[in-house]
Amino acid sequence: MMQLSQLIVFGIVQGLTYALLASSFWIIYSTTRTFHLAHSLTYAIAGYAAYLTSEQLGLSLWLGFAASLICAALFGCAIEALLYRQLRRRSSTVLGIFLSSLGIAAAGAALLQIIFGPMVKRVPGFPNATLSYGEISVTTLQLTGALAAFVAIGAVTILLTRTSVGNAVTAVRTNPKLAMAVGIRVERISLLVFAIGSAMAGLAAYVETIAFVAYPTMGLQPVMFGVIGVFLGGAGSIKGAALGGFVLGFLLVFSGLFLSQNLGVILVFTVLLIIIVFRPEGLIRSPVGE
């Protein structure tokens, strides 16, 4: 029972991380219909921004946190404005935009390795104590990261459901032509969702960087699992995306009881395949406009 309780705690921590990443990918994909694989590069840039600010410049971890979010948001907006928007204006196909995103992700990771070298980068200094309750333990960093992810998802959900900005985002997500006809600046909304989604990825990257290390391809696996979470939970709403990421985190943690890490990943894709075949709308059945 103690082992089960500990796994539940780890599952919650991991689940909230993947829920954050799934939500960050969802808001971009659902609004702009851009399969933004360069999200993994945004993640890595946020990690290196924390390293440069807090370790190389010797500034506080709080400033490193701000740098991660700001650099991630700015890079996401730059990709949207300088690449995706131009491709859409030239009537590029969905496949063309997808391949351009894949190329940016691969080239960007190689460029980061050229600039920073192949060695991993650490950002020490976070007071990472272990909190224990009986046989159950969790570190302050795990707890902080989980709470930050929960607050971020909640804040974005409130923004989307209870504000005029959220109504505009929903309008663009539901029917961009009609939204444009009633005076909504679709291109501005696209920049906004890229900024929000990229900043959410930057938050996850910052937590990983101070907990472990930063390296050029650090965003590949987390973002991949975030994408899986979107379609596992349901791409119709942020609730579905967050639930999918959360379930995915639990699944990965509990699969470690019986399977190796590689087999756990196979299990995740197997579950995704089953969901796509038998329940293509995901775990939460909701309209795209919700």
More confident residue, 237 or 1: 237
Query: What is the reported pLDDT for 230?
Result: 93
Per-residue DSSP letters for 192-243?
Answer: HHHHHHHHHHHHHHHHHHHHS-B-TTTTHHHHHHHHHHHHHH-TT-HHHHHH
Instruction: Measure the CA–CA gap between 110 and 146, rounded to whole angstroms.
Output: 30
Query: What is the reported pLDDT for 287?
Result: 52
Q: What is the pLDDT of residues 210-240, one digit of tens each?
A: 999 999 999 999 999 999 999 999 888 899 9
Q: What is the pLDDT of residues 111-148, one digit of tens each?
A: 999 999 989 999 998 988 888 887 788 999 999 999 99
Q: What is the pLDDT of residues 25-76, one digit of tens each?
A: 999 999 999 999 999 999 999 999 999 999 999 999 999 999 999 999 999 9
Query: What is the reported pLDDT for 206?
Result: 97
Least confident of 147-156, 162-171, 216-225, 264-273: 264-273
Query: What is the reported pLDDT for 261?
Result: 64
Instruction: Measure the CA–CA gap between 212 and 215, rounded to whole angstroms.
Output: 10
Instruction: Measure the CA–CA gap between 43 and 40, rounded to whole angstroms.
Output: 5
